[in-house]
Structure 1
Amino acid sequence: MVQRDITGIDLESRLADYAATIDRYDLLLGLIPAGFAVAVLVGRLLDLPVETTLLWGVAIAAIALLDGLFVRPPTKPRNV
């Protein structure tokens, strides 16, 4: 096992490197549960029925899914 020295690692540069690896499809996958969470919060604030809030969550998730699969689908990497 190799022992590493981590005392000189800058946290901001590590976060910047991590943020640079996030692509569009990661954001679309994150939008699906976030859409449901936002719909539930808005439904609670406006005192809407559960069916209505779920319908709005499904609409947000469907838009993200359709965009990721059909509007701008993933392409094959160019360097392969």
Structure 2
Amino acid sequence: MRRRDITGIEPVARLAEYASTIDRYDLLLGLIPTAFAVAGFVGRILDLSSEATLLGGVVIAIIALLDGLFFRPPTRPHGT
């Protein structure tokens, strides 16, 4: 990760610069806890058992994990 000097940069420009550094694997890592949170919310709304709710979160998290590790794994950047 490269170091950036953020002094003198407007907050909107700083946010846009940060958003442009987010890649697919950051989103996959964020999906794992989000899957459990959404499953918990849906389980609460639909009055599901905790086992069913946890299983729903696990299924979504496993799909994200398998996709990120085996189906489309990270590769080395070109030129290094």
Give the TM-score normalised by structure 1. 0.89
User: Do residues 28 (structure 1) and 23 (structure 2) align?
Assistant: no
Q: Deviations over 1:29-76 (max 9, x none)?
A: 000000000000000000000000000000010000000011111111
Q: Distance in 2 between matches of 1:61 and 1:78?
A: 29
Q: Distance in 2 between matches of 1:52 and 1:79?
A: 47
Q: Residue 54 of structure 2 aligns with which residue?
A: 54
Structure 1 segments (4+ residues) deviating >6 Å: none
Q: Distance in 1 between matches of 2:72 and 2:62?
A: 14
Q: Alpha carbon RMSD of aligned pairs, Å? A: 1.3
The percent identity for this pair of structures is: 68
Q: Distance in 1 between matches of 2:59 and 2:40?
A: 13
Task: Report the 3-state secondary structure (helix = DSSP H, G, I; strand = E; otherwise coil) of the residue aligned with 1:9.
Answer: coil
Aligned length in residues: 75
Task: Point out the structure with max Rg over C-alpha.
Answer: 1
Letter in 1 for 2:56: W
Structure 1: tracts of 5 or more residues without a match: none
Q: Residue 42 of structure 1 aligns with which residue?
A: 42
Q: Distance in 1 between matches of 2:52 and 2:38?
A: 13
Give the TM-score normalised by structure 2. 0.89
Structure 2: tracts of 5 or more residues without a match: none
